[in-house]
Structure 1
Amino acid sequence: MIALLFLITNCCLVPKHKVSARFSEYQIETTVDSELAKYYLESFNQSKINHPEFDKVIRGISAEFNDQKPNRDILKQISDKTSIDFAALYFARQMLNDKSNLILQKQFLLNLEYVKNQKIQYNDSKLLILLVPGFDYVENGKVTGADFAKPKELLSQTGIQVQLVGIDPIGSVEENAAFISKTISSFPNRNILIAGASSAGPAIHLALGESLTLDQTKQVKAWLNLGGVLQGVPVLDQFSIGIKGFLFKTIVWFKDWRIKSFQSMQTAVSRERFNRIKLPGHIYTLNYIGMSLSGDISRFAYDKYCLMREDGPNDGLSLLPDLVAPNSHTILAPKSDHFFAEDPEIDIKTLALLKTILDHLGY
């Protein structure tokens, strides 16, 4: 998302422990950052209890935190007691302990196999998919996938009308929310499914929960939140002051960006906005979030991931719990981080996500 910025960052050395294990519906083949995380995946999670010291730590974590929602503060505490990857796995397990999320995960995988083998087709002329692209999608969208070019092409082949919402590629959350609201209002007689990734997430949230009236949102049936940075980008906080802040502002000036766009995604303003907004209850909201284990972090995410490791498990741009919309359901994406375009199956998975949502809505 913030290309040249991280020329001035540092890297990190993460321990690598090979793991091969089944986690829920997925086979995990990667590396993790601790023996405890490896044991949790390969043994404890498989009910193979054979390491008294590790068993005590895991049971202690469960006893202390299991009855609490795994927010960023709790995951930071767990990370400090264990490791980043263990905390990420704890978060993933808590998400899947919600029966509705587990059912959705299974349904998504069934739909993934379905769309791989046959074409899906819908004939409802009232249905409209609005795709909201990510930051700087005009210049870098082909590299990052922020322009939604391929998903738009595939979704259009289903018979549903698909439209890219032409937000300002370097606009602030507030500016883009206003444009999204105007776009939604221009289709008063359509049933809308809106989808957006990364920086589009908080703009969609603001549009649906505050910029539009409740009556204006009635036509919006669902929101697909693809790694939306709903509660901010912690690395932007780090690059807002001191020498890093000076260098960042120089890059912003050189790129002809606007500093207020980045300020609108800093954590303080983002978290205040998130806590203030009340999303209409009739909108079905589905999150798609990378599990973001250290061995699966992509080339685009790694530098930002390193900067945020001290804050807890993250996807290379935001902390994992901060990607979850209120009153929503979640599908996890193993082997992925924030940059879903790195997944060779992401285009076909977009179709599967669409089918999962439309199945739920009864189409």
Structure 2
Amino acid sequence: MQTSTGSVGPGLRGPFRDSYADCDYAALTPRKLAEVTREHGVDFATALLYDRIRHAEPHRAFIEAVDAIDPAASLPSTSARLLIAPAAFWREYPQLGADGAAVLAVARALGFSAERIPAPSTGGVTENARIIRDALAKEEDGSVILVSLSKGGADVRVALEDGGAPLRKVRAWINVCGLVHGTPLVDQFFAGPWWRRMMVRAFLARHRADFSLIRELGHAPGSPLSARAVAPDGVHVINVIACPLSEHTSGALAKRHRQLATLGPNDGSTLLTDAIVDGGVVYPVWGADHYFRTPDAPNLIRRILLHLGTAGHLPASPAA
């Protein structure tokens, strides 16, 4: 997680609050959001989705509870372990927050025992899901708070969908900007010119990454991640999604944001509706992009972890 300058919240009054008055969050399907985007542009659709999430239950109550937490508060004594499923290329690009170092710092400052799962930074979804399951198998039942970043969300999704003993270890899953349904960028890539595929192959080869790293993140029907992800039974899922306007993105991420803009609101890597595990609560972050660059990112993660403690989602310490 990096910080950046940018607005910390939109003034959602007037046109946003009054437009599409008959469209609540449930009505803003991917098809409807694509329609709104065609009529009013991707920035309008992004603000509309952000507003509707914040006013829909159970998300509204969750957001208000998290916002009410004093970040200076202490965490109740807990035996929970926090494990991070990092993003792709976390070794190569730690400056983008892919390694989860900022989350680890926040968690440890609160008193969690916290570690990064040793998933290869260039591993595919199937490979990393197996490693996550192996890591979970070593933990106590109901003891783990999983935090996934970007592609780590796809890795965790597949790991938990297999069920069994590793799933019983997980108490909560915080899915941050997760590629839990892949990304249309992969589909566009395979439909694009041959020379672009050669460039990507060269990039992967330079980092000794298998082509499955890209292929397994397909979004089209029939792709491994195309079916809707659903919160596993017994796991409290928190989806943290970034809601950037065009002005909040830059560099390569801005280009990818434009590529996805015809399909609807996106964070520069995936559609916002595709970053959500159904059945979980959603906390939308205004002005952040897929790299979760927003000034309040560390405090937000801290407040979410504190909320898990105050809401009874953490196992108590045996000594408590």
Three-state SS of the structure 1 residue aligned to 2:93 is helix
Q: 1:92 is matched with which residue: 50, 54, 76? A: 50
2-structure distance, mates of 1:42, 1:279: 33
TM-score (norm 1): 0.77
Q: 2:152 is matched with which residue: 182, 188, 200? A: 200
Q: For 1:213-245, what per-residue CA distance to the aligned partner results, in whole angstroms no more than 9, with x for missing partners?
A: 1x5422311100001011112222222242322
1-structure distance, mates of 2:136, 2:198: 38
**Equivalent residue, structure 2, for 1:178:** 130
Q: Which range moves more in the overlay, 293-302 or 200-209?
A: 293-302
1-structure distance, mates of 2:305, 2:281: 14
Which residues of 2 match residues 18-37 of structure 1 at below 5 A?
A: 27-28=9-10
Q: Tell me, which stretches of 5 or more residues in structure 1 are unaligned?
A: 1-19, 21-25, 30-40, 48-57
Give the greater-gyration-radius structure (CA).
Answer: 1
Indicate whether 1:284 and 2:245 are aligned: no
Q: 2:81 is matched with which residue: 128, 136, 150? A: 128
Q: Which range moves more in the overlay, 220-229 or 76-85?
A: 76-85
Indicate whether 1:358 and 2:309 are aligned: yes
Contact 1:208 1:279 in 2 (8 A): no
1-structure distance, mates of 2:221, 2:131: 20
Which residues of 2 match residues 192-271 of structure 1 at below 5 A?
A: 192-210=144-162, 212-213=163-164, 215-240=165-190, 241-242=192-193, 243-268=195-220
Three-state SS of the structure 2 residue aligned to 1:275 is coil
Contact 1:229 1:323 in 2 (8 A): yes
1-structure distance, mates of 2:288, 2:109: 26
2-structure distance, mates of 1:222, 1:297: 30
Greater helix content: 1
Q: For 1:151-186, what per-residue CA distance to the aligned partner results, in whole angstroms no more than 9, with x for missing partners?
A: 212211222211110101011111111100110011
Q: 1:286 to 1:279 in 2, by over 3 A?
A: closer
TM-score (norm 2): 0.87
**Equivalent residue, structure 2, for 1:5:** none
Give the percent of matched residue pairs that are identical in Structure 1 and Structure 2.
Answer: 18
2-structure distance, mates of 1:119, 1:70: 36
Shift of 1:81: 2.0
2-structure distance, mates of 1:227, 1:259: 22
Shift of 1:87: 1.3
Q: 1:276 to 1:148 in 2, by over 3 A?
A: closer
Shift of 1:300: 5.4
Q: For 1:31-61, what per-residue CA distance to the aligned partner results, in whole angstroms no more than 9, with x for missing partners?
A: xxxxxxxxxx4423566xxxxxxxxxx3xx4
Shift of 1:317: 0.2
Q: Which amino acid aligns with 1:120?
A: S
Contact 1:197 1:227 in 2 (8 A): yes
2-structure distance, mates of 1:94, 1:236: 28
Three-state SS of the structure 1 residue aligned to 2:131 is helix
2-structure distance, mates of 1:270, 1:355: 39
